[in-house]
Structures are given as structure tokens and as C-alpha cells.
């Protein structure tokens, strides 16, 4: 039974006055004490102190228009280069807009209070308070079609393969333009970080690939390969003495795609597993509306997505990701040294082979048990 003394064991709320000279880590540890600031502080410590241990494989999901707001350059690229993110599931839109920067195209700070009819007449596109020229879309579309028509793309492939190839070309364009590392796709290519899209047709990248299918292109996204490869990443982490952690920025389909790796291993493939070890989410979605975006880690336990014994190692922060995500990154980069890059993209075949062998063994065991069980008479 929990006693009053147990409830009052937490640290006293007694912060030092803010001076204006604090670092991000000092501000988080001293002033982020309660409500969603408290959850963000807990998330920062979970990420930096536990999820970034050498034996943890970190998968990140990304939704919302984060790359147009510059978070690809400010936040994601530093995390990838530091080895703090090992594999990614993103909306296609984030990757499409990310490529603008790698191609030397520009987006601009604007205002949410502009006249959208007037913007349309002037050829300006708005993402809330971000403005960019409509020609940015047309130029990016043309580039994606040009690259995707090349011989190495003319086959079915996982979205990780497609993004790796595309990222290589975007990185070459950056180098030719002399603009440095602007694109998540380009940096992920260099670091061997596989990037998947759970709904590859739901973005301008998918739209341009679909256009090419009408002209005889053999490029097709293999969604089954995506499901099996992501499950293989998690299985490899858990069966080689390590752990699996998920960093969920937003919600939506990418959140489910990162988390469904465990039900795929357990429920569908029949391989004994317990769930992800660490769960950190930043979202503005409520749990009581029934949507996946707001679903809690405790609910995920009932699906086999999260190890029930690891619920204390789960944190949900209800806040704007454009605020919380950079703070999390700054905290982690200040607290942890860079990790060795796992370069999981280049290990996909090996990891998939391990998963396939485990599945075949589990299936053979189930079939043997079924044959040994007498079938009762039908009435």
C-alpha cells in the first residue's frame, strides 16, 4: 500500500531564479518542473540517459510539416550525424520538402494572416506562416522525375532503397552547389540511416513516381519489403543483446509503422518477443478521441507494441514539436557524446535473413504442434 510518505518523496519544487545566462540543459533541469514542461524534462533525460546507450537502436517517426520549418537542418541532421537516430519512418511530404533545400531552392518566413486568394494569384504557396514560390514545387517535381527515370530505379524496391538512391543524388547536387549539408535525405545517405515512408503514394514524391508509371517506368514501391525490413531492424536489435527505443515526433501513420514492428514479429510471424523497450512521444493529439496519434504507451502495451515491464521508461509530452523537438536535441547533444553510426541501411539483407530464419523456425514449430494435436470430431 502506498503511504503519504511515499507520495511525498519527490524532489522539492525549489528552482533557482532564471538569470538569462542558462544553457538549454540548465533551463530544462532547473525550470521545467511540472505539467508538460515536466514531461519534456523527463523525456530529455530518458532520451539522453537511457535511449542513447550504445546498445539501443533508436527508430524515429516524423509527421507534421517539420522540414519546411527548418527542423531537418536545425534538429534532424545533427541527431543523425551524432548517431542518435538509427532508422526513420517519415511522411513523404517531409522528405519532399526536405529535398527543396538540398536542391538550393528557398522557403521563407511569412505570416498566417495573408490573403490566400492573393497568394494563389501571385504564385506563392503557404504552409501556415511559411511562404515559397510555386516554382519550387515544379522544379522539385522535375528533379524527382529526372532522377527516378534513371536505370538503377527501374525495379520494385523498398522505400528505404528509393530514399537512399535519391539521397545520394541530392547530396551530389548540394556538393555541386557548394551549399553544405541541407538535406536529411543526403545526410541519411552518407550515414547509412534507412528512411521509410509508411504511405509512399501520399506525397508529391509518390505522385511523381505514379506519373512515371503511366509512361512505362518499372519503379514500384514494395510496401511488404518495408514492413519486413523495419521488423528486421527491431528483431536484430533485440536478439543481439540490445534494446529498441522509439522517438515519435507527432503521430499518424509513421507512428504506427514504427510501433507495428513488434506486433508483426509477435502476432504475425509468431516469434517470441515482448515489445519496444523505450517510448518517447511528442504530440498535440488527445488520447480520448480514439486516434492513433494520441494513443498512450500503456494502450500500446495491449497490442504488444511496448514491453509491459518497461512502462516506467515511457514518456509522452503534449506540446508543439517545433518547440519541444529542438530542445530535446539540444539537451541530448549537450549531454551525450556522439555514438558510433550503426549504418543499418547496409545491413538490411543480413537483418532480413535473420528474421526470415527465425520466422521459418517458429512456423515449423507451430506446424509440428498442430499435427500432434488431435482434431476433434465435428458435431
182 has catalytic annotation: no
Q: Which three cell numbers stand for residue 90?
A: 517519415
User: Was domain 19-359 assigned CATH 3.30.565.10?
Assistant: no
Buried b (16+ CB within 10 A) or exposed e, 84-108: bbbbbbbbbbbbbbbbbbbbebebe
Residue 243 pairs in a beta bridge with: 56
Residue 237 has phi, psi (to 5 degrees) of: -60, -45
Q: How many CB atoms lie within 10 A of CB 223?
A: 16
Residues 6+ apart with CB under 8 A from 121: none
What 8-state DSSP symbol labels residue 345?
G
Residue 299: predicted pLDDT = 76
Alpha carbon distance 316, 40 (integer Å): 8
How is the chain split into domains, by residue range?
Answer: 19-359
Residue 321 has phi, psi (to 5 degrees) of: -65, -25
What are the respective helix, strand and coil percentages of the chain, to the nearest 5?
Answer: 55, 10, 35
- Helix residue ranges, H only, the chain: 4-7, 24-31, 35-46, 71, 77-81, 92-102, 116-122, 134-148, 159-177, 184-191, 204-213, 223-239, 252-259, 261-263, 297-302, 321-335, 348-372
Helix (H) or strand (E) holding 221: strand 220-221
- Catalytic one of 243, 305, 310, 342: 305
Helix (H) or strand (E) holding 247: strand 243-249
* 3-state SS assignment for residue 310: helix
- Radius of gyration for the chain, computed over Cα atoms and rounded to the nearest angstrom: 23
368 Cα distance to chain centroid: 39
Residue 274 to residues 238, 266, 278, 313: CA-CA distances in angstroms? 10, 8, 12, 14
235 Cα distance to chain centroid: 17
Alpha carbon distance 101, 151 (integer Å): 25
Residue 359: predicted pLDDT = 96
Lateral strand order in the sheet of 124-127: 108-109, 130-133, 124-127
45 Cα distance to chain centroid: 19
Q: What is the pTM of this model?
A: 0.93
> Each residue's pLDDT tens digit in the chain (379 positions)?
889 989 999 889 999 999 999 999 999 999 999 999 999 999 999 999 999 999 999 999 999 999 999 999 999 999 999 999 999 999 999 999 999 999 999 999 999 999 999 999 999 999 999 999 999 999 999 999 999 999 999 999 999 999 999 999 999 999 999 999 999 999 999 999 999 999 999 999 999 999 999 999 999 999 999 999 999 999 999 999 999 999 999 999 999 999 999 999 999 999 998 889 999 999 987 777 777 777 777 777 777 777 778 777 789 999 999 999 999 999 999 999 999 999 999 999 999 999 999 999 999 998 888 888 766 544 4
pLDDT tens per residue, range 217-244: 999 999 999 999 999 999 999 999 999 9
Through-space distance between the first and last CA atoms of the chain, rounded to whole angstroms:
52
Helix (H) or strand (E) holding 281: strand 278-283
148 Cα distance to chain centroid: 24
Q: How many CB atoms lie within 10 A of CB 225?
A: 18
Do the beta carbons of residue 309 and residue 124 sit within 8 Å? no
Amino acid at each position: 500500500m502506498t503511504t503519504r510518505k511515499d507520495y511525498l518523496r519527490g524532489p522539492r519544487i525549489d528552482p533557482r531564479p532564471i538569470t538569462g545566462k542558462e544553457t538549454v540543459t540548465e533551463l530544462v533541469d532547473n525550470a521545467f518542473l511540472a505539467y508538460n514542461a515536466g514531461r519534456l524534462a523527463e523525456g530529455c533525460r530518458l532520451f539522453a540517459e537511457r535511449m542513447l546507450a550504445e546498445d539501443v537502436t533508436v527508430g524515429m517517426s516524423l509527421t507534421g510539416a517539420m522540414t519546411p520549418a527548418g527542423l531537418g537542418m536545425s534538429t534532424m541532421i545533427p541527431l543523425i550525424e551524432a548517431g542518435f537516430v538509427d532508422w526513420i519512418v517519415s511522411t513523404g511530404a517531409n522528405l519532399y520538402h526536405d529535398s527543396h533545400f538540398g536542391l538550393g531552392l528557398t522557403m521563407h518566413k511569412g505570416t498566417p494572416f495573408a490573403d490566400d486568394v492573393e497568394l494563389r494569384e501571385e504564385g506563392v504557396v503557404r504552409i501556415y506562416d511559411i511562404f515559397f514560390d510555386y516554382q519550387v514545387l515544379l522544379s522539385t517535381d522535375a528533379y524527382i522525375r529526372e532522377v527516378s527515370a534513371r536505370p538503377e530505379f527501374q525495379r520494385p524496391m523498398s522505400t528505404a532503397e528509393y530514399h537512399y538512391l535519391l539521397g545520394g543524388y541530392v547530396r551530389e547536387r548540394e556538393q555541386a552547389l557548394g551549399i553544405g549539408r541541407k538535406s536529411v535525405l543526403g545526410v541519411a545517405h552518407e550515414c547509412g540511416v534507412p528512411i521509410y515512408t509508411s504511405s509512399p503514394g501520399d506525397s508529391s514524391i509518390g505522385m511523381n513516381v505514379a506519373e512515371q508509371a503511366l509512361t512505362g517506368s518499372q519503379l514500384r514501391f514494395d510496401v511488404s519489403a518495408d514492413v519486413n525490413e523495419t521488423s528486421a531492424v527491431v528483431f536484430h536489435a533485440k536478439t543481439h543483446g540490445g534494446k529498441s527505443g522509439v522517438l515519435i515526433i507527432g503521430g499518424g501513420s509513421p507512428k504506427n509503422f514504427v510501433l507495428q514492428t513488434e506486433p508483426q514479429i509477435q502476432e504475425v510471424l509468431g516469434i517470441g518477443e515482448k515489445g519496444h523497450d523505450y517510448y518517447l512521444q511528442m504530440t498535440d493529439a488527445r488520447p480520448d478521441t480514439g486516434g492513433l496519434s494520441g494513443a498512450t504507451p500503456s494502450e500500446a502495451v495491449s497490442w504488444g507494441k511496448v514491453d509491459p515491464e518497461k512502462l516506467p521508461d515511457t514518456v509522452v509530452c503534449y506540446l508543439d514539436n517545433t518547440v519541444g523537438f529542438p530542445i530535446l536535441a539540444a539537451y541530448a547533444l549537450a549531454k551525450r557524446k556522439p555514438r558510433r553510426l550503426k549504418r543499418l541501411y547496409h545491413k538490411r539483407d543480413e537483418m532480413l535473413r535473420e528474421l526470415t530464419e527465425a520466422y521459418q523456425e517458429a512456423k515449423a514449430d507451430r506446424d509440428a504442434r498442430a499435427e500432434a494435436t488431435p482434431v476433434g470430431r465435428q458435431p
